[in-house]
């Protein structure tokens, strides 16, 4: 009898934990993060202006609501161990209030180690205290970046060479410690793991209270790096769902080093992956092209579809790649990707993706309904380009 009660209690605890994550991130979080553009120079003024721009450009209304301050905001701890921001961030509570006043949400960054990747103060031995401070500042999102904690893991492995699981156990314990601390604040805070995909976080992330986890090392503003990350996500779809998302890193759209076709490939792949969409560009310098990619309604609707399923690869043939994502209402999103250096024809058999009698096809980037199609759908696609479709019955 006691065992039955215990199992029932455990099931209840597990379901409430998951419920908390779903409450924080029922769909892939969308917003903006300071790192890809401002990196270590970000200031309070930059973040306030990003919040203003999210509103004035229409990004907020398109769904981008998190304003996330990445690394390098931290100052020192006071005598009681409370963390304070550095000179570039005079008042974090006031910054949070400002962000909230715009109908946006406030995100912050730390590390389970003594130092962040940028060499600023991490949260080791201050997890509960920091979580409490963040909640007091009105934080809605925490990115927790492994950084220097990895050195402690390597050191422990050296001291215990026979214990092959020590690094993994330490890492999971460190992430769980902050996950528990965030939960204890009672504030729904999206918990975003950043440990570069080490040891399959998609398998243990939900157990430490995470709403999302990075699946790879860092992105940069190059087509080569972006597709290396994006197309390596095949096979991970079963690990995503409400409250727990695979994160192939932030967006580079608008940072200037890729062509329009390459950025459309980036956005198409990320929405098919139901990836968190965190823009990383200078919002004050968005071109019409950047806006048309980041704010395309159909593309965003694919990412945010209420069925909440991640897409996956249908087939790959040399440099051609076809991905699908199931959508609500029996619809399917399809991405036809041309990674080659020449213009190529790419096809998808509509019967193979559930449309034996054909379906209505919408071309997302052209913004056009192509009418009822059946059998094999083929499109001619420019180098590094993509055709993104929504097929419905």
Active centre residues (catalytic): 145, 218
Binding status of residue 35 toward ligand GLA by CB under 6 A: yes
Give which of 303, 184, 212, 195 is closest to 22, Cα–Cα. Answer: 212
The residue within the footprint of ligand GLA, chosen from 25, 117, 258, 388 (CB under 6 A), is 117
In the complex, the smallest distance separating the C-beta of residue 356 from ligand GLA, rounded to whole angstroms, is 44
Query: Long-range contacts of range 292-295, CB-CB < 8 Å, 24 or more positions apart?
Result: 293/253, 293/254, 293/260, 293/263, 293/264, 293/267, 294/59, 294/62, 294/64, 294/251, 294/253, 294/254, 294/267, 295/57, 295/58, 295/59, 295/62
Binding status of residue 114 toward ligand GLA by CB under 6 A: no
Stretch that binds ligand GLA, among 111-119, 121-129, 154-162, 232-240 (CB under 6 A): 111-119
Stretch that binds ligand GLA, among 81-89, 115-123, 258-266, 267-275 (CB under 6 A): 115-123
Cα dihedral sign for 9, 13, 18, 24? Answer: positive
The residue within the footprint of ligand GLA, chosen from 26, 75, 114, 118 (CB under 6 A), is 118
Three-state secondary structure along 262-276?
HHHHHHHHHHHCCCC
Size of the site for ligand GLA (CB under 6 A): 9
Binding status of residue 354 toward ligand GLA by CB under 6 A: no
Q: Which is nearer to ligand GLA, 117 or 139 (CB)?
A: 117
CB 196 within 8 A of CB 215: no
Cα dihedral sign for 287, 292, 295, 299? Answer: negative
Q: Which is nearer to ligand GLA, 208 or 391 (CB)?
A: 208
Binding status of residue 71 toward ligand GLA by CB under 6 A: yes
Binding status of residue 207 toward ligand GLA by CB under 6 A: no
Stretch that binds ligand GLA, among 79-87, 113-121, 234-242, 357-365 (CB under 6 A): 113-121
Instruction: Give me 156's structure tokens.
Output: 């422990």
Q: Which is nearer to ligand GLA, 126 or 214 (CB)?
A: 214
Instruction: List Cβ neighbours of 170 (8 Å cut-off, separation of 6 or more).
Output: 149, 152, 153, 156
Instruction: Give me 180's structure tokens.
Output: 């528990």
Binding status of residue 174 toward ligand GLA by CB under 6 A: no
Binding status of residue 194 toward ligand GLA by CB under 6 A: yes
CB 252 within 8 A of CB 258: yes
CA distance 370 to 366: 10
In the complex, the smallest distance separating the C-beta of residue 106 from ligand GLA, rounded to whole angstroms, is 17
Instruction: List Cβ neighbours of 80 (8 Å cut-off, separation of 6 or more).
Output: none
Binding status of residue 361 toward ligand GLA by CB under 6 A: no
In the complex, the smallest distance separating the C-beta of residue 273 from ligand GLA, rounded to whole angstroms, is 17
In the complex, the smallest distance separating the C-beta of residue 302 from ligand GLA, rounded to whole angstroms, is 24
The residue within the footprint of ligand GLA, chosen from 44, 46, 70, 321 (CB under 6 A), is 70
Cα dihedral sign for 29, 35, 38, 44? Answer: positive
Binding status of residue 24 toward ligand GLA by CB under 6 A: no
Q: Which is nearer to ligand GLA, 218 or 312 (CB)?
A: 218
The residue within the footprint of ligand GLA, chosen from 218, 298, 316, 363 (CB under 6 A), is 218
Binding status of residue 145 toward ligand GLA by CB under 6 A: yes
CB 39 within 8 A of CB 73: no
Q: For the CA atoms of the chain, what is the radius of gyration?
A: 22
The burial class, CB within 10 Å (0-12 / 13-18 / 19+), for 367 is exposed
CA distance 15 to 9: 10
Binding flags for ligand GLA, 274-313, as an x/- string (CB under 6 A): ----------------------------------------
Binding status of residue 221 toward ligand GLA by CB under 6 A: no
Instruction: List Cβ neighbours of 329 (8 Å cut-off, separation of 6 or more).
Output: 392
Query: Which residues form the interface with ligand GLA (CB under 6 A)?
Result: 35, 70-71, 116-118, 145, 194, 218
């Amino acid at each position: 009898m006691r065992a039955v009660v215990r199992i029932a209690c455990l099931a209840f605890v597990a379901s409430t934990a998951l419920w908390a994550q779903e409450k924080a991130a029922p769909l892939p979080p969308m917003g903006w993060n300071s790192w890809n553009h401002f990196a270590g120079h970000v200031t309070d003024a930059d973040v306030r202006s990003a919040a203003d721009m999210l509103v004035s450009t229409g990004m907020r209304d398109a769904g981008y609501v998190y304003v996330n301050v990445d690394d390098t905001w931290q100052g020192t701890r006071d005598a009681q161990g409370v963390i304070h921001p550095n000179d570039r961030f005079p008042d974090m509570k006031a910054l949070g209030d400002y962000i909230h006043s715009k109908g946006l949400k406030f995100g912050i960054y730390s590390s389970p180690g003594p130092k962040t990747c940028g060499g600023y103060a991490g949260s080791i031995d201050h997890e509960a205290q920091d979580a409490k401070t963040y909640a007091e500042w009105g934080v809605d999102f925490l990115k927790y970046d492994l950084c220097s904690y990895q050195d402690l893991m390597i050191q422990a492995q050296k001291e215990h060479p026979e214990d092959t699981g020590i690094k993994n156990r330490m890492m999971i314990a460190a992430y769980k410690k902050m996950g528990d601390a965030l939960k204890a604040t009672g504030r729904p805070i999206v918990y975003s793991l950043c440990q570069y995909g080490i040891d399959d976080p998609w398998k243990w992330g939900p157990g430490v209270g995470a709403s999302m986890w990075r699946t790879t090392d860092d992105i940069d503003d190059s087509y080569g790096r972006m597709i290396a990350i994006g197309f390596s996500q095949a096979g991970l779809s079963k690990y995503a769902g409400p409250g727990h998302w695979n994160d192939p890193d932030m967006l580079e759209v608008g940072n200037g080093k890729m062509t329009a076709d390459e950025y459309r490939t980036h956005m198409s792949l990320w929405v098919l992956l139901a990836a968190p969409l965190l823009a990383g560009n200078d919002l004050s310098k968005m071109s019409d092209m950047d806006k048309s990619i980041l704010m395309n309604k159909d593309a965003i609707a694919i990412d945010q579809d209420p069925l909440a399923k991640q897409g996956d690869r249908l087939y790959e043939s040399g440099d051609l790649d076809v991905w699908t994502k199931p959508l609500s209402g029996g619809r399917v999103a399809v991405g036809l990707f041309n990674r080659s250096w020449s213009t190529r024809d790419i096809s998808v058999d509509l019967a193979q993706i559930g449309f034996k009698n054909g379906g209505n096809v919408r071309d997302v980037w052209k913004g056009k309904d192509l009418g009822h199609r059946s059998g094999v759908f083929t499109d001619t696609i420019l180098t590094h380009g993509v055709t993104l479709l929504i097929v419905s019955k």
